[in-house]
A and B are shown apart, each in its own frame.
Chain A
Amino acid sequence: MVRQIKQKPMNWIERLYIFEAFRGLWTTLKHALRGLLRYETLPTVPYPEIKPEISRTYRAKHRLMLRPDGTPRCVACGMCATACPAQCIFLEAAPSEDGRIEKRVLRFDIDHLVCVFCGLCVEACPVDALRMDTCDTSYVFRKREDFVTPMYQLMSWDPKDYPQDDLQSQMAPGGTKNKQALDAWGLKVN
């Protein structure tokens, strides 16, 4: 549908320009005085020293969820690597010692130079082992190889940095201490 926007013709005061110019000057003066007298209320932040607020739902650097015994929750199904449009996830699987799970993950690398942060890997994961809620948006390295984040880095996160009222974001069920995690999740099994 075409929407026509009618421009209001200027009246003669506006066409004189000089009064409108003074109105503009008054507007900019207000902004300048705000910067001078209320410097701390400026909307910009001095970036590297003060970080902006980033929402938990923002798709930032990945992390691998952990079970209470410290092993990754990943079952090495490879669905994330399949879903990845940039093909930046590399994983290797090995037979699991846990009888309930078929495979465990040996190697899980994400190349963050290639990653497009689309979040499809998180959506694809059948066991919610991969999340992108670290709020870590700036990571700078000297070499290209350093951007390939290995599994131990994806696993090295601190539960204290995540919302305390959401226990599912802090530990995953499974492993040798499964009961503890299920208690925390509120899933009692007999």
Chain B
Amino acid sequence: MANSEKMMCPSCRVEMNHHCDKVAYTTDPQHGGQMDPNLGGFIEEFHTCPKCGCGAARPA
């Protein structure tokens, strides 16, 4: 399920734009709880700040 909370730019304090989801495959046990069994991995969201252009990611 997508994370509905808006991500804020740590530098500019403005809402970042969510422009991409990507499935990540890993054997790292720390991601075990976020694994989507239908996709075989976990989804990462990618966000970009419209003011400074910096990017950030978080688990969906």
User: Is chain B found bound to chain A in the same assembly?
Assistant: no
Identify the A interface with B (CB < 8 A). none
